[in-house]
Amino acid sequence: MRSDEVKVGHNRAPHRSLLRATGLVDEDFDKPFIGVANSFIEIIPGHFFLDKVSKIIKEEIKAHGCVPFEFNTIGVDDGIAMGHDGMLFSLPSRELIANSIETVMNAHKLDAMIAIPNCDKIVPGMIMGALRVDVPTVFVSGGPMAKGYTKDGAPIDLSTAFEAVGQFEAGQITQEELTDIECQACPSGGSCSGMFTANSMNTLMEAMGIALSGNGTILALTKEREELYRQAARRICQIALLEHKEKQRYNMTNILNENAVRNAFAVDMAMGGSSNTVLHMLAIAQEAGTDFRLEDVNKISKKVSHIAKISPSLTTVHMEDIDKAGGVSAVMHEMDKRGDDILLDNLTITGKTIKQTIEHSQILDTDIIHTIDNPYSEVGGLAILYGNLATQGAVIKTAGITGSRVFTGSAVCFDSQDEAIAGIIDGKVVAGDVVVIRYEGPKGGPGMQEMLAPTSLIMGLGLGDKVALITDGRFSGATRGASIGHVSPEAAEGGLIGLLKNGDEIHIDVDRYILQANLTEETIKKRKAQFKPIKKDISSSWLKQYRSLVTNASSGAILRTDMF
């Protein structure tokens, strides 16, 4: 066992002495040591109950012949951090989480791991750390929250609350109605109930084969979810107790390989996941040592039909509805009917292949999960746009577009999200405009803020189908409308987005994958000669470190290691 390095032999007597201080007895030293990586934190709705989840999991691990050791990672709630400088720390937290997983698991030579994430950066951070450690790992998330309801019975969620602010600003709803939405939008613990970033990533873990069926859709705080926790704990013990060579078969890099990455993107397309999944999956692909690149996303999109539309794209449908309609396995089974090598038959942590896992699944409600003969779109719900404004790419959630897929408009430029929010409220944005928010990329922010506040204001003001928005920052999974993020190169590194001026004509054609500023080469050359990127003053030592090491969004905003 890997853990023999810290527990076997006379020279490890001091190590065993320390372990005995934690409660271990003689017979425990012959058992596999399982890391229980928990992301319990009391301020995040998807995480405040995970201390109870870990108790269930540790109880099951002990009952099945292994020794659990729980440790924790940090977490940031993007919704609470949104709209102020706290959001600068959200994306960087992914790197801290990955580093903490790698640190604890490798420092103590634990044999295997069960990871308990749920929200936003915590899921990809844990996956990235697990790939570095490369031992058998089962992921089991806390689960999605139930959808809320207004007094009149309309289903709502977090995106409703953000958009309600814009509606209130526009005088379309009263203070009483706003308060009702505030109090009902998030009715329980769990990751926010739509296909936002957290549930997108929890869903994609099923497609990657690192989590059990139901991980993305079974509601939090239910008996069904508790049984999933127990199944996951039993499974990691089964693997940890295997003979060495058989156990190695389930190392993370053997499960999460390039086929798994491609399967994740395919399911993402079919279900219209958050645009943040592109950022995180690119980072995961690099940690896994695959050759997957941003330009491969459109190749997959062309082969995948969009068959499940979930809030915020379809505000009446939430994760619990997908679960009742057959879950992610039903989506994958329906996708597989199309052929074209959309779903690659890869090994999963269960011991079955993807195709064996989904072979008996079926759609139970075709109004919720459409068939491939009746898709919402013949192509996937995400696209990568290119052009002089994004020579290295930009991302749009096509599943969330509310207006035309072709748009030409005049630039209205803002050098920060705060400027944009103030400008939108002051009426500086009108129908036909393209809102440009720059210096919010990984370096420029630094930290790549999410733009849910400005996009929600635009929707709340009734401009969702009348304006477009481009940014070198990113969007919450709750964003909808013609919102294009991850523009690379970003303004802080001299990208054309930083050279734009108010009134410049911008052309967007989603189906032709175009994001173009209609400027002459001579004009661009003159502006470049006079251009000096803004470098924001920051006091945070961590954000200064992050800014000096981070790459742009086209490579997943990973940290550079090539100078070490």
Residue 161 CB contacts under 8 Å (≥ 6 apart), including other chains: 181, 182, 185, 186
Please write the tens of the pLDDT for every residue from 46-56.
999 999 999 99
Please report the sign of the dihedral spanned by the C-alpha atoms of residue 486, residue 489, residue 493, residue 494.
Answer: negative
What is the per-residue pLDDT for 461? 85
Whether the pLDDT of residue 274 is over 80: the answer is yes
Answer yes or no: are the C-beta atoms of 111 and 3 closer than 8 Å: yes
Tell me the mean pLDDT in the region 331-345.
89
Among 127, 75, 91, 81, residue whose Cα is nearest residue 557: 91
Among 219, 208, 32, residue whose Cα is nearest residue 118: 219
Please write the tens of the pLDDT for every residue from 280-330.
999 999 999 999 999 999 999 999 999 999 988 877 899 999 999 999 999
Among 400, 420, 402, 398, residue whose Cα is nearest residue 411: 420
In 10 A of CB 43, how many CB atoms?
A: 11
What is the per-residue pLDDT for 486? 96
What is the per-residue pLDDT for 84? 86
Tell me the mean pLDDT in the region 129-156.
96
Rounded Cα distance, 412 and 299, in Å: 32
User: Looking at the annotation, which residues are catalytic?
Assistant: 476
Pick from 109-113, 161-165, 545-549: least confident = 161-165
Whether the pLDDT of residue 83 is over 80: the answer is no
What is the per-residue pLDDT for 479? 65
Assign 3-state DSSP to the chain and report helix, strand, coil percentages, each to 5: 45, 15, 40
Confidence of residue 480 (pLDDT cuts 50, 70, 90): low
In 10 A of CB 88, how many CB atoms?
A: 22
Rounded Cα distance, 105 and 71, in Å: 10
pTM: 0.94
Among 324, 322, 330, 405, residue whose Cα is nearest residue 361: 330
User: What 8-state DSSP symbol labels residue 559?
Assistant: B
Whether the pLDDT of residue 476 is over 90: the answer is no
Whether the pLDDT of residue 562 is over 90: the answer is no
Tokens 């690149």 — which residue? 293
**For the chain, what percent of residues have pLDDT higher than 90?**
84
CA angle 556, 293, 310 (to 5 degrees): 70
What is the distance in angstroms between the CA of the first residue and the CA of the last residue of the chain? 31
What is the per-residue pLDDT for 403? 78
Rounded Cα distance, 195 and 181, in Å: 19
Rounded Cα distance, 307 and 334, in Å: 9
List the structure tokens of 103.
Answer: 């640190």
Rounded Cα distance, 279 and 297, in Å: 11
- Give the CATH number of domain 383-555; options: 3.40.50.1370, 3.50.30.80, 3.40.1360.10, 3.90.660.10: 3.50.30.80
Tell me the mean pLDDT in the region 245-273.
95
Structural domain spans, the chain: 31-146+188-358, 148-153+160-184, 383-555
User: What 8-state DSSP symbol labels residue 481?
Assistant: S
Rounded Cα distance, 286 and 131, in Å: 10
- Exposed, middle or buried: residue 186 (CB in 10 Å: 0-12, 13-18, 19+)? buried
Rounded Cα distance, 182 and 164, in Å: 9
Whether the pLDDT of residue 563 is over 80: the answer is no
Tell me the mean pLDDT in the region 191-220.
96
Rounded Cα distance, 243 and 229, in Å: 24
Tell me the mean pLDDT in the region 349-353.
97
What is the per-residue pLDDT for 341? 77
Answer yes or no: are the C-beta atoms of 482 and 467 closer than 8 Å: yes
Answer yes or no: are the C-beta atoms of 450 and 474 closer than 8 Å: yes
CATH class in words for 31-146+188-358: alpha beta
Q: Which of 147-161, 329-343, 353-367, 470-484 holds the top average pLDDT?
A: 353-367
Please write the tens of the pLDDT for every residue from 377-416.
998 888 999 999 999 999 998 877 877 889 999 999 999 9
Tell me the mean pLDDT in the region 34-63.
98
Answer yes or no: are the C-beta atoms of 394 and 484 closer than 8 Å: yes
Tell me the mean pLDDT in the region 263-280.
93
> Rounded mean pLDDT of the chain?
94
Torsion of CA 216, 222, 227, 229, to 10 degrees: 60
Among 109, 101, 90, residue whose Cα is nearest residue 33: 109
Rounded Cα distance, 154 and 441, in Å: 36
Rounded Cα distance, 190 and 118, in Å: 8
Rounded Cα distance, 250 and 258, in Å: 15
Among 401, 519, 508, residue whose Cα is nearest residue 459: 401
